[in-house]
Amino acid sequence: MRDFARLFTALDETTKTTEKVDALVAYFRTAPPADAAWAVYFLTGRKPRQAVAAAKLRAWAGEIANVPTWLLDECYEAVGDAAEVVALLIPSAQSTTELGLAGWVETRLLPLRALADDEQKGAILAAWRELDLAECFVWNKLITGGFRVGVSQLLVTRALAKVAALPQDVIAHRLMGTWEPTPAFAAELVAPDSGASDASRPYPFFLAHQLDGEPAALGEPSEWQAEWKWDGIRSQLIRRAGQTFLWSRGEELVTERYPELAALGDKLPDGTALDGEILPWSGAGIMPFAQLQKRIGRKTVGKKLLADIPVVLMAYDLLELAGTDLRPSPLSDRRAKLDALIPQVSDARLQPSAVVPFASWEDLTVVRRESRARQVEGLMLKRLASPYRVGRVTGDWWKWKVEPYTVDAVLIYAQKGHGKRANLYTDYTFGVWEGGRLVPIAKAYSGLTDAEIREVDAFIRRNTTETFGPVRTVKPELVFELGFEGIQLSPRHKSGIATRFPRVLRRRADKPAAEADTLENVRRLLTPGAPS
């Protein structure tokens, strides 16, 4: 635990990527495999089911620190992190533990779930007495989850690749899918030869970058393929060893949630991996994303939901065929094989993501204007010669989204942020005018620069008219331009509309609050085809 806490502190102390990777490498070189496996598990954002609620930890910490509940709440407000506030409150102890990370997780953390309340409390308090401030914070983090330390899976991958002297792609692939944090896994992760890999394992997704300028900068149109940018769930459908696996982009196995795609998978030849988008699809075409949302998160789907909101896989890439990894071959080849495969499968639930023909960038600019009517987010531009890369690599895949809907709205409520932004007011609610009143239309976390955040924070503190718990009502004065991906009618919202992916585009210091948009203006932007 001491070494892992030191690693955590080292990662936390620097903003420099190279230093983070060095710290990780140093840790993985010396850590016993059992500890290394758990370290990878937590650092890549995985977490066991929460054993003890954060509220309980807080209450126990308050008890032993002799701090009343209301004051605990104030402390939490100032810190913004449940695990940290507990570590800061309890009496500091000297580190006396010699138990490693795996020992702490397997013999101290995991058994907590099965314990009764008072036994849990005893176990937690005993742990706190053995750990110093940094270790205690890490321990609390392990319990409460949300272990974010400014380390991405990519950095962990880089460090492991260095330790194993293997290409990063190999490590990235080994980290995909479900695995158990065992010493054997840690050994396999850095083993020279991967051998037979797990049948379920998906490939790391290749992610596109946002194209901010004009596509002309990309060069010859003939070197590029254009497709619509679908508004669904990115996923991989895999058929191997007589089994079907459907993975979402968050590396979650979602096969059971989409039985129609599981059935589709069963029709694929063995040794196939498709990359595509799960889309809600009625006979007439795509349904709005809001419909798909009704299926996301449902572990089991009833007959009615299946009939009302069926889904298809809009396939755009073929990563594996007949057990061969096709990723190194150019997109043009992969696409040709995909186009040959789809008619063989001959199932309406598998659709090819159509290639949008264009001769010039000007043509494509015109075609892109159809995006909203087609209920897509814009276009994808993919270099025909590109291999299927790992992660967000710049250059070969671009998303060229349509301009977002924009609205000028007034800041009306504010709340403090969390983590790095605990103490600053960064969570805003915005309103637009309706009959002389401002009705809330969107909540957005700040999309502002640090300097702007401080300015707005100072404004909020000086211009609070009312407070409701952590929420401050602010004098309606600051105007911001908000961007949305979509706007739909919603009886659940006070304004009668719901916004999709609202974010702050910029501060409109030039605009007085009275000239902000009206609800009427916003209604005019309603997404076509949205249910009303």
* CA-to-CA separations, 470 to 77, 80, 464, in angstroms, rounded: 8, 12, 12
Output 14 or 30, the one with its CB closest to other proteins: 14
Question: How many residues make up the chain in this entry?
Answer: 532
Min. distance of Cβ 99 from other proteins in angstroms? 24
Residue corresponding to tokens 């053995």 = 130
> CB–CB of 417/446 below 8 Å?
yes
Instruction: Give contact residues for other proteins (rule: CB under 8 A).
Output: 12-15, 65, 67-68, 70-71, 74-75, 78-81, 84-85, 88-89, 92, 137, 150, 419-424, 450, 454, 457-458, 461-462
Min. distance of Cβ 84 from other proteins in angstroms? 6
Residue corresponding to tokens 């944090």 = 181
Residue 163: enclosing H or E segment and its boundaries? helix 153-164
Q: 500-509 burial, b for 16+ CB within 10 Å, e for fewer? A: bebbbbebbe
Min. distance of Cβ 13 from other proteins in angstroms? 6
Output 92 or 107, the one with its CB closest to other proteins: 92
Output 88 or 125, the one with its CB closest to other proteins: 88
Structure-token pair, residue 46: 């995985």
Min. distance of Cβ 75 from other proteins in angstroms? 5
Output 424 or 482, the one with its CB closest to other proteins: 424
Output 372 or 421, the one with its CB closest to other proteins: 421
Structure-token pair, residue 364: 């494509």
Angle formed by the axes of helices 117-130 and 54-65, nearest 10°? 60
Output 87 or 226, the one with its CB closest to other proteins: 87
Picking from 190, 131, 156, 111, the residue whose alpha carbon sits closest to that of residue 17 is 156
d(CA 111, CA 123): 10
Picking from 442, 443, 478, the residue whose alpha carbon sits closest to that of residue 460 is 478
* CA-to-CA separations, 528 to 212, 355, 408, 477, in angstroms, rounded: 25, 23, 21, 32
Output 138 or 479, the one with its CB closest to other proteins: 138
Min. distance of Cβ 82 from other proteins in angstroms? 12
Min. distance of Cβ 331 from other proteins in angstroms? 39
Min. distance of Cβ 80 from other proteins in angstroms? 6
Picking from 344, 341, 288, 284, the residue whose alpha carbon sits closest to that of residue 315 is 341
Output 286 or 448, the one with its CB closest to other proteins: 448
Min. distance of Cβ 416 from other proteins in angstroms? 9
Residue corresponding to tokens 């718990």 = 469
According to DSSP, the β-strands at 311-321 and 272-282 are: antiparallel
Measure the CA angle with vertex 437, ends 434 and 442; round to 5°. Answer: 75
> CB–CB of 404/414 below 8 Å?
no
Output 146 or 387, the one with its CB closest to other proteins: 146
Min. distance of Cβ 489 from other proteins in angstroms? 38
Output 6 or 493, the one with its CB closest to other proteins: 6
> Cα-flanking dihedrals φ and ψ of residue 227, to 5°?
-140, 160
d(CA 14, CA 268): 48
Output 298 or 420, the one with its CB closest to other proteins: 420
Residue type, 418: H
Min. distance of Cβ 78 from other proteins in angstroms? 6
Min. distance of Cβ 94 from other proteins in angstroms? 11
- Contacts with 131 (C-beta within 8 Å, 6 or more apart), sequence order: 1, 5, 93, 95, 97, 139
d(CA 278, CA 350): 10
